[in-house]
A = this chain, B = another copy of it.
Amino acid sequence: MPLVSHIKISKNMSVLSLARQMEAAKVLGAGRFGKASRILGEMFRDKECTKFISLAGPLIPGGLRSVITDLVGGGYINGVVATGANVTHDILEALGHRHIVGSENADDVRLKRRGLSRIYDLYVTQRSIEELEKVTYHMLDRIPEEKRRDIGSHELLWEFGKQLKDKDSFVRTAQRRGASIFCPGIFDSMIGLHLWTYSRLHPFILNPLRDFSRLVDMTYERKRVGVIILGGGMPKHQVLIANTYRGGVDAAIQITLDRADGGGFSGAPLEEAISWGKVKSPNNLVTVVGDASVVFPVLAVAALQQSTAKPKGDRVR
């Protein structure tokens, strides 16, 4: 029977050597973190693996926008499945708006009066959301009407990506790099409200089945598919279920604070998905219990350090 090894830390150790030490522990959270870093590193190195990341929770407004953008820009990720909120906040920042550091104990009635909307401990101005309406309309107007009459979210965001100018936007960067962004619940967000009001005045039908077709196309005949799941929700499920046609994904890591015992899919262990054919085998699967905003940046750096590819400059890209 294998034995637990104890993590050795040292002042000058790299993120990767720390992750390796944690992997050697083999048990509890540290062992899982270490295993996740190895799986992620292998995914990043594997050129024949199509890689997806799912984003739930306020990662984009909350500080991980560049991490996602740079991984997409560096070719480490081929598809993003995001909540509508993450897309909304990426575009808000692309338009020059910023998110404000606030407090989770704020008085929401007063915040509203001050024109601020809250996501846990960060704020966004209501004015920025109003401005988003005009820009959204404008971007929609520039999509050919025929296309607009039956469009998937990934096509819509491709069109938006073409029109955005901010290099730190993951929507823009994905379009430039040929990566796809799926937003199965795009209408369930602030930009979604603008899409809906637009649809009352102009021909516009958002068709989620087109997204599903594209997801299946992107995975069906690929040699390997790997998935990084940050938080749960519909993004997690959408990317996994689309892989049932190919017999499941080959590798997956998830980082979540949701718990399994409520029975919901967000907190479910990846092993459960094997019984549904969404995941191929128990190999190369791991759940790290934690806050993705804490755990993923560390994991990503460890994975990059594990990759043999030479870095091109100061940032990932």
Contact = CB atoms under 8 A, between A and B. Distances in A.
Interface stretch (A14-22, A45-53, A133-141, A218-226): A14-22
Contacts of A231: 262, 264
A75 interface: no
A268 interface: yes
A143 interface: no
A230 to B, nearest CB: 10
23 contacts: A6-B63, A6-B67, A7-B66, A9-B301, A9-B304, A10-B315, A13-B301, A18-B297, A24-B63, A28-B291, A29-B262, A31-B121, A104-B260, A112-B276, A118-B272, A119-B272, A184-B187, A205-B205, A206-B207, A233-B233, A233-B264, A262-B292, A290-B291
Interface of A: 1-15, 18, 21-22, 24-33, 56-58, 61-67, 70, 85, 98-102, 104-106, 108-109, 111-112, 116-123, 150, 168, 184-185, 187-189, 192-193, 195-196, 199-200, 204-209, 212-213, 231-234, 237-238, 241, 244, 257-266, 268, 271-277, 281-282, 288-295, 297-298, 300-301, 304-305, 307, 311, 313-316
